[in-house]
Chains A and B, each alone.
Chain A
Amino acid sequence: MDVPLWLLAIIAFGVINFMLISASVLVYAERKVSAYMQNRPGPNRVGPAGFLQPFADVFKLMFKEDVAPRAASPFVHSLAPVIMVVIAMTVPAMIPFARGVVIVDNSVTVLIILALTSVSVYGVTMAGWSSNSKFSLLGGLRSSAQMISYELSMGLAVASVVLLAGSLSVVEIVEDQSVGGAVLGWNVFRNPLGALIFVITAFAETNRAPFDLPEAEQELVGGYHTEYSGMKFGMFFLAEYVNWFVASFVIVTLFFGGYLLPFEPQILAAYPGLEGSVGLGLLQALCLLVKVGFFVFLFLWVRWTLPRFKYNQLMEIGWKVMLPAALVNVLLIAIAVAVFMG
């Protein structure tokens, strides 16, 4: 914790810019991968193979007129996208990108992540209510009910991870997964049910398919951001893609060893010079990105594989399957901890 504040500010600025650029790349990736899955070319006009399309879209959104309905509450209408962007951009501060490379490192970083993700429910609800449009209101209500329902199971899945690590610090949770050598210490192997629950709830919390009811285009037009246009809509869009990316980061960090290399102890034994070097840090960051890339792809894969749930099915899964399963999982992990570590 002896990093000077100006250096932290530069790193934080860098992380925010990284997230912004990643969001653009993700938009491109989503459109291109979706296109190939549907056997069509996708964006291919702007830049090489359409790669600059999302950047062009950002400029287009910037220069669009910001139309707000007369009936809307202007302040809340503007506040909602700000909340979404702030939350989406703050969560990556708690993610360690390599050993010792993290912006916020204290004893309760997991709680901060959970607290911030629950605040984004406010953004959605405020957007839905303040627009004073029926589509927005329905989308916002549905979305907030969905997000709070799955937040419980998410919190319990995280509690099972905390049980294993005995700490609320993300960094310590990652380091805790290095026990057992190779990859067997990763929480996905020690806590498979928890990992499954967490991945499913992450889909629901980010409002991605098959849980994308809040913006079910066919029935709700655009859900809670029906009445948003120009850059305000762009901010919701940005927050959605950053959330998707950050959710993948959180999944990897809590359950798939975070920045830990697979077989890290063996690699370090074979190349002792690597220990504590910059090269190891770069390898770890690369490894983290590869794992995150897989989950980013998984989100798309699921999107084009599963149809959207009906609303009653969604609530039924959340309350009657996920919540009891998460409760049982916490007890199972507690018993396992008592048996193997007690």
Chain B
Amino acid sequence: MPADFVPLLLMLVLATGLALTLLLAARWLGPRRANPVKVSTYESGMDPIGTARQRYSVKFYLVAMIFIIFDVEVVFLYPWAVSFQEFLAAGSGVGVLVVVTIFILVLAVGLLYDIKKGGLEFD
């Protein structure tokens, strides 16, 4: 079984090689003449005001948290999706479908709650 993943590793190694080659070639080929203006942060030509390490909208964290919940849901659905036809062949398909429908409904209620609470408003 691990042998099936060797080609993937191979591809990852080749792709990393390409990326590092590009990075190092650019470093080697390009000129290096830094000056204070050149290496200052871009802010439409003005002198940068403060740093960018500031607080930003909490909405992004909310979206990330809701994403985690629903992503786990999707992951839970995959084993069911793969084996659903086998359940059907074994005659327990309808029961499994009902269970999955309840599972999806529970999460749909969660999504509805979040929408009603305004957790996804970006105005």
A interface, CB within 8 angstroms of B: 1, 5, 8-9, 12-13, 15-16, 20, 61-71, 78, 81-82, 85-87, 89-90, 93, 103-107, 111-112, 131-138, 141, 144-145, 148-149, 151-152, 155-156, 159-160, 162-163, 166-168, 221, 226-227, 230-232, 234-235, 238, 311-312, 315-316, 319-320, 323-324, 327, 330-331, 334-335, 337-338, 341-342
Known contacts A103-B10, A135-B42, A232-B23; can you find 12 more A-B pairs with CB under 8 A? A16-B14, A20-B18, A71-B41, A90-B15, A104-B4, A134-B52, A159-B77, A226-B42, A312-B121, A319-B111, A324-B111, A331-B104
Partner of A156 from B19, B48, B74, B121 at Cβ < 8 Å: B74
The total of chain B residues at the interface (CB under 8 A) is 72
B7 touches A324 (CB 8 A): no
Beta-carbon contact of A230 and B26 below 8 Å: yes
From B38, B71, B120, give the contact of A315 (CB < 8 A).
Answer: B120
Which of B42, B71, B81 counts the most chain A CB atoms within 10 A?
B81
Give, as a whole number of angstroms, the nearest-CB distance from B12 to chain A.
6
Asked if B70 lies at the interface with its beta carbon under 8 angstroms from chain A, I say yes
Query: In the assembled complex, which residues on chain B have CB atoms less than 8 Å from the CB atom of A320?
Result: 115, 120
In residues 15-72 of chain B, which contact A (Cβ within 8 Å)?
Answer: 15-16, 18-20, 22-23, 25-27, 29-34, 38-44, 48, 51-53, 56, 59-60, 63-64, 66-67, 70-71
- B42 surroundings in chain A (CB, below 8 A): 69, 133, 135, 221, 226-227
State the CA gap A131–B42 with chains docked (Å).
10
Give complex CA distance A337, B42 in Å.
Answer: 55
A327 to B30, CA, bound (A): 50
Q: 4 tightest A-B contacts by CB? A: A231-B26, A106-B4, A89-B15, A312-B122
Determine if B41 and A231 form an interchain contact, defined as CB atoms under 8 angstroms apart. no
Quick check: A145 and B64 within 8 Å, CB to CB?
yes
> How far does the alpha carbon of A104 sit from the alpha carbon of B10 in the complex, in Å?
10
Per a CB cutoff under 8 Å, which of B14, B22, B32, B100 touches A235?
B22
Q: A66-B26, A156-B74 are in contact. Are A162 and B82 (CB under 8 A)?
A: yes
A111 to B75, CA, bound (A): 10
Main secondary structure of the interface of B (DSSP, over half): helix
The CA-CA distance from A66 to B38 in the complex, in Å, is 11
Return A156 CB to nearest CB of chain B, in Å: 6
Chain A residues lying within 8 Å of B56, measured Cβ to Cβ, are 137-138, 141
Which residues of the other chain, A, contact B85 by a CB distance below 8 angstroms?
166, 337, 341
Q: List 19 A-B contacts (CB under 8 A).
A: A65-B30, A67-B34, A67-B39, A69-B39, A71-B41, A82-B19, A85-B15, A86-B16, A106-B1, A133-B42, A134-B43, A137-B52, A159-B74, A230-B26, A232-B26, A315-B63, A319-B111, A330-B77, A337-B88
Contact partners of B39 in chain A: CB under 8 A: 67-70
